[in-house]
Structure 1
Amino acid sequence: MPLETWLLYVVTVFFVSATPGPNMLLALNHGIRYGVRHTLPTLLGLLSALGLIMAGSAAGLGALLAASETAFAVVKYSGAAYLIYLGIKTWRAPPQPLSSDDTVPHGAAWQRFSTGFLVAMSNPKAFVFFAALFPQFMDSRLPQGPQLAILAATFYVIETSWQFAYAGGGARLRVWLDSPKRLKWMNRAAGGAFGLAGVALTAVSRH
């Protein structure tokens, strides 16, 4: 892969990953609630799902979702329903005191992992996105495997960096937010954002 092609890909992915979405919103929300250290299971769930999405896209699942309206709709509405459910749950959550960085938060680590995993898997557009993005930066005359590995690893590193940045930013807001009134409004803001993301997802087209 030519260096200039890879650098163009890095710039593209840098700005795509930085764009706030359900993944980054969850990293921010859990960073506020639990601190960076206890948000690691959430980030692991997000990144595990990302790896499966990239692998699925490389294996042709992205092309299948792009070609089949029914398959795309099933994944889309399932993902939208989960985001709306998460939004309602977050909106209605009581304003509990934020855990200190050395206190284990309420709920098992696997619950935070599963939440991250399901949020990342909720958007079928991600499969189509990778299926469309990767070929734009690949040379058909060169071996495909090494190129896919470079693109996937690069995306993974940049996405991981942004997720930690959002989680870290959330953690720095914890002192200011640690009051019942502010926590209540934070829950409503985060819940509303998740709900809006779910509603917006229903309008997404496979094209």
Structure 2
Amino acid sequence: MSLEIWLAFIVATSFISATPGPNMLLMLSHGARYGWRATTATMSGAILGLALLLGLSALGVSSVLAASPLLFMALKIAGALYLIYLGYQCWYAGSKLSLPSGNANTTASRFKTGLAVALSNPKAILFAAAFLPQFLTPNAPQAPQWLILLSSFFIIEITWQLAYALGGMSLARWLESGRRIQIFNRCCALAFFAVGAALALAKIH
């Protein structure tokens, strides 16, 4: 892998990771609710979820999903419903920054939520299978290249997740009144609804 190819991967991945998707939206929401340190539990779950999806892609599950529209549809509908459920939780959070769930403030709960949100998007498996191989040099050893790409990917992803969590924490300082908090919760809810709907309507290709 040449330096030019690696730099192209860095730029492309940075823009893709920065896009406000389910993971980043969750980091923003949890950053505002619990602070960035507590949100590291959410980040850990999300990173583990991404690692599992990449592992499934490497095992060839991406080919199975691409060849089975019905299975892909079932998985993404389940993921979309979970995101919509998170939106429901945010909508009824009212004027509080904590979610209605009684155990929402626990480290384990945040970790599980991060993991579930990351796993809620089966399209990520197909993305990994289609995106990452474009930056590999076929006639060069594969293992070192995969190590470089995956290490770079996770460093970029973690950096952006932390940035969103810090952004949410800064936003929390502005949310002084119950009215502003309610608006924030409703905006998060609508965003989760939109992402869930987009996932449900996504096509394989």
Query: Deviation digits for residues 146-183 of structure 1, max 9, x if unmatched?
Result: 21111111100000000000111111111111321111
Question: Distance between the aligned counterparts of 1:56 and 1:201, measured in 2?
Answer: 19
Structure 1: unaligned runs, 5 residues or longer:
99-104
Question: Deviation of residue 97 (structure 1)?
Answer: 5.7
Q: Among residues 150, 156, 159, which one is paired with 2:157 in the alignment?
A: 159
How many angstroms apart in 2 are the aligned matches of 1:187 and 1:94? 7
Counterpart in the other structure of 1:79:
79
Tell me if the contact between 1:97 and 1:180 (Cα under 8 Å) persists in the aligned partners.
Answer: no
Task: In structure 2, list runs of 5 or more residues that go unmatched.
Answer: none
- Partners of 1:139 and 1:59 lie apart in 2 by 20
Secondary structure of the equivalent of 1:123? coil
Distance 1:205 1:129 in 2: 12
1:17·1:158 contact (CA, 8 Å) conserved in 2? yes
Structure-2 residue corresponding to 1:40: 40
Higher mean Cα deviation, 60-69 or 180-189?
60-69
> Are 1:62 and 1:127, in contact at CA under 8 Å, matched by a contact in 2?
yes
SS in structure 2 opposite 1:145? helix
Deviation at 1:31, TM superposition (A): 0.6
Moved more, 54-63 or 33-42: 54-63
C-alpha contact (below 8 Å) 1:54/1:152 kept by paired residues: no
Letter in 2 for 1:67: A
Deviations 1:77-100 (A, max 9, x none): 1101101111111111132267xx
Hey, what's the Cα distance between the residues in 2 that align with 1:33 and 1:193? 16
- Is the contact between residue 13 and residue 155 of structure 1 (CA under 8 Å) also seen in structure 2? yes
Partners in 1 of 2:97 and 2:122 — Cα distance? 35
Name the SS for the 1:26 alignment partner: helix
Query: 2:88 matched to which residue of 1?
Result: 88
Counterpart in the other structure of 1:21 = 21
State how far apart, in whole Å, the 1-side matches of 2:151 and 2:167 are: 24
Using the size of structure 2 for normalisation, the TM-score is 0.94
* AA of the residue aligned to 1:165: A
Calculate the TM-score normalised by the size of structure 1: 0.93
Q: Which amino acid aligns with 2:45?
A: G
Give the counterpart of 1:180 among 178, 181, 185. Answer: 178
1:174-199 Cα offsets, whole Å, 9 max, x none, are: 11113211111111100111011111
SS of 2:94's equivalent?
coil
Give identity over the alignment, percent: 47
The list of structure 1 runs, each at least 4 consecutive aligned residues, that deviate by more than 6 angstroms after superposition, is none
In the other structure, the counterpart of 2:144 is: 146
User: Quick check: 1:97–1:178 contact (8 Å CA) kept in 2?
Assistant: no
Amino acid aligned to 1:18: A
Does the CA contact (< 8 Å) of 2:97 and 2:185 recur in 1?
Answer: no
Residue 132 of structure 1 is matched in structure 2 by: 130
Residue by residue over 1:52-78, the C-alpha shift from the partner in whole angstroms, topping out at 9 and shown as x without a partner, is: 111111221122212211221121111
Give 1:102's aligned residue: none
1-side partners of 2:46 and 2:176: how far apart? 26
Query: How many residues are treated as equivalent by the alignment?
Result: 201
CA RMSD of aligned residues (A): 1.4
